[in-house]
A and B are shown apart, each in its own frame.
Chain A
Amino acid sequence: MRRMLGHEIYSLVIISIATAVIPLSREPYYIYLSSLFMILSIFSLSYNILFGYAGLLSFGHALFYASGAYSFAIFTISIYRDPLVGTLVSVAVSLILALLVGVLTLRHGRIYFSMLTLAFGMLLYALLLKWRSLTGGSDGISGIPRSGFIIDLYDPYARYYYIYVFFLLVVISLYIFHRSRYGLLIKSLGVNEDFVPYTGHSVFRLRILAFIISGSIAGIAGALYAILMGVVNPDLAYWTTSAEPLVATLIGGSKFFVGPIMGSLVFVVITTYASRIAEIWQLVLGLILVALILGSRGGVLEVVDRIWRARRYSGLRI
């Protein structure tokens, strides 16, 4: 929130420079990891609009991620072969889905919302499995084109910077958004919903706004994932995928703008250096969650913030 504002800008600048120069290493593996990091960051930033800002715990955010990835795959393969147009279509599809799901889930209490998002997420999963002619069933879709009529992402570096540009765009626009009037109003939902009507705004409409923004940005992340991997499969819509941005956000700290980004960094590092634990991946995610919920609900950044403030004696408040 406000107290780390100054430092948040510094860390954002450092991250954007670091991710920009990673391809200079010419190490395909680092480039791949950095791409994963940026995609997960976008996904987690979108998640945090609901979780950290609006106080809504979604178990079905993979719905928009998967819909973005699948609509990119289907659109670029069978309608128009271009990554940029495909990405925009993914955003549009996720946005429409977010509006539909939002209208059905956001009228209720926050607990209903959590249960319903799980159900809708699994609905897409079931649909992706069943609608074989369109989605390829459990095999998913492979051979997603990377080059197109307008832009060409065949070169891995071009692909990397394509993801990078979207990463920057999302970070900058969300940074502006989270300090804007509506950003603050959405945050006030998370602080105390009952007071929001006194500002003359409808809780339901603000939630819908948050949900649409969140869903369409998750759609971008999904499309970028499809570009990076070249394949999509139904697991993208499974509830364990929804747990990833949730865990990343909790690790970093949901009350900080850079929380989801820092959390994604830690998350990607853990998953990489512990690839041996892929078999028991859910167990690890669960244990991290339990430790965070009991130990530090504000995430790593809150711990850092506390230490920092103890040192500086609140001199750095902005």
Chain B
Amino acid sequence: MDLDLTPVFYQLFVGLYRASIYWLIASGLTIIFGVLRVVNFSQAVLLVLGGYMTYTFYNLTGSFWLSVAMASISIGLVGVAIERALLKPLYRVDVTYQLLMTFAVSLILNDAMKILWGKLPISVPLPSTLAVGIGIFGRTYPLYMILVIAIGFAVYIAVLMLINRTMWGLRVRATWRRPEIAESLGINTSNIYTAVFFLGCVIAGLGGGLVIAFSPVVPGLGDFLIVSAFIVTVIAGLGNLSGAYIASILIGVSESIFTLYLPEIDLLLIYLIMAISLMIRPQGIFGER
């Protein structure tokens, strides 16, 4: 029997693309949680907002990559505003209130986006140089998806290097381990918190810019993305960067494969993986504790 594996490879590839989007949310969640001990519920909503901003900047400038860059920075600044104005007063209060605050922010942003950009799906045309396919083993793979997967991986390497290999990363790690001692050594932990939040939000904004060029963005999109990103980080173990990258790929790829073979339950599969993973390793596959 001649088994044609091309569709499987293609689904694997689509899964990697999907995984990269999850990763662009989960990475921000992970570094923000790692350092600030805050789960940023609004991470996925910020990604969607990044998509909308890319759309607006694209209409103004006409350049796709410039718009993505501007949107990422803007989302970073929105993040800084959220951290400084809304989260900072809550660091001394119980953790649930910080989570509640980011939850409230995502409720607000969800509707604000509906008001500003309407309820209809919006997309940005791909630059013509990217809207091509690459033929591999008789099947064409969109170049843009390959690029997004590569960017996802580049973000992973970049964040890892930034935190593990730079002086600034050392300060971040010091703040993460022992905020009080870091403070006593002259590190401005308050600035570190804001900078890390900025970084996490920039990645979300980048993700939004990348998504909107490929699939249209609608206001409710963030609701499902945040659930997937939560599942990814829970499976990985909260605060574990490499774990989050691997878990994103695990979830993205298996979702994609199941869409091919069991389309009836593809929506439910991710929860099934979560439940099984929780039963086997409650602390997360890569979590220690």
Q: Which residue numbers of A lie inside 8 Å of B, CB to CB?
A: 51, 55, 57, 59, 104-105, 107-108, 110-112, 114-116, 118-120, 122-123, 126-127, 129-130, 238-240, 243, 246, 279-283, 285-287, 289-290, 293-294, 297
User: Does A130 contact B265, Cβ atoms closer than 8 Å?
Assistant: yes
User: Does A282 contact B234, Cβ atoms closer than 8 Å?
Assistant: no
B260 at the binding interface (Cβ < 8 Å): no
Chain B nearest Cβ from A130, distance in angstroms:
6
- The 3 closest A-B CB pairs, nearest first, are A286-B107, A286-B108, A283-B111
Given contacts A104-B279, A129-B267, A285-B107, contact A294 B224 (CB under 8 A): no
User: Does B104 contact A107, Cβ atoms closer than 8 Å?
Assistant: no
B100 at the binding interface (Cβ < 8 Å): yes
Residues of the A chain whose Cβ atoms lie less than 8 Å from the Cβ of B227: 118-119, 122
Bound Cα distance A59, B231 (Å): 14
Selected contact of B97 from candidates A105, A279, A280, A297, CB within 8 Å = A297
Question: Main SS of the interface on chain B?
Answer: helix
Interface string of B256-289 (1 = CB under 8 A from A): 0000000011011001001100110011000000
User: Does B230 contact A119, Cβ atoms closer than 8 Å?
Assistant: yes
Selected contact of B94 from candidates A55, A281, A282, CB within 8 Å = A55
Selected contact of A282 from candidates B110, B224, B226, B274, CB within 8 Å = B110
14 contacts between A and B (CB under 8 A): A51-B96, A57-B96, A111-B238, A114-B39, A115-B233, A118-B230, A120-B271, A243-B103, A281-B111, A283-B110, A285-B107, A286-B106, A290-B108, A293-B104
Selected contact of B112 from candidates A59, A126, A279, A283, CB within 8 Å = A283
Bound Cα distance A294, B101 (Å): 9
Q: Which residue numbers of B lie inside 8 Å of A, CB to CB?
A: 33, 39, 86, 89-90, 93-97, 99-101, 103-108, 110-112, 114-115, 223-224, 226-227, 230-231, 233-234, 238, 264-265, 267-268, 271, 274-275, 278-279, 282-283
Bound Cα distance A110, B99 (Å): 11
Bound Cα distance A134, B96 (Å): 36
User: Does B99 contact A57, Cβ atoms closer than 8 Å?
Assistant: yes
Selected contact of A55 from candidates B96, B101, B103, B282, CB within 8 Å = B96
Bound Cα distance A108, B275 (Å): 13
Residues of the B chain whose Cβ atoms lie less than 8 Å from the Cβ of A293: 90, 97, 100-101, 104
Residues of the B chain whose Cβ atoms lie less than 8 Å from the Cβ of A280: 111, 114-115
Residues of the B chain whose Cβ atoms lie less than 8 Å from the Cβ of A116: 230, 234, 274, 278
Selected contact of A130 from candidates B90, B93, B101, B268, CB within 8 Å = B268
Given contacts A104-B279, A114-B39, contact A282 B99 (CB under 8 A): no
Selected contact of B274 from candidates A57, A119, A289, CB within 8 Å = A119
Give the nearest-CB partner of A294 in chain B.
B89
User: Does B86 contact A290, Cβ atoms closer than 8 Å?
Assistant: yes
Given contacts A283-B107, A286-B107, A289-B107, contact A114 B99 (CB under 8 A): yes
Bound Cα distance A191, B61 (Å): 54
Bound Cα distance A119, B269 (Å): 12
User: Does A289 contact B104, Cβ atoms closer than 8 Å?
Assistant: yes
User: Does B107 contact A282, Cβ atoms closer than 8 Å?
Assistant: yes
Residues of the B chain whose Cβ atoms lie less than 8 Å from the Cβ of A122: 223-224, 227, 271
Residues of the B chain whose Cβ atoms lie less than 8 Å from the Cβ of A51: 96
Residues of the B chain whose Cβ atoms lie less than 8 Å from the Cβ of A57: 96, 99-100
Given contacts A118-B227, A123-B271, contact A110 B111 (CB under 8 A): no
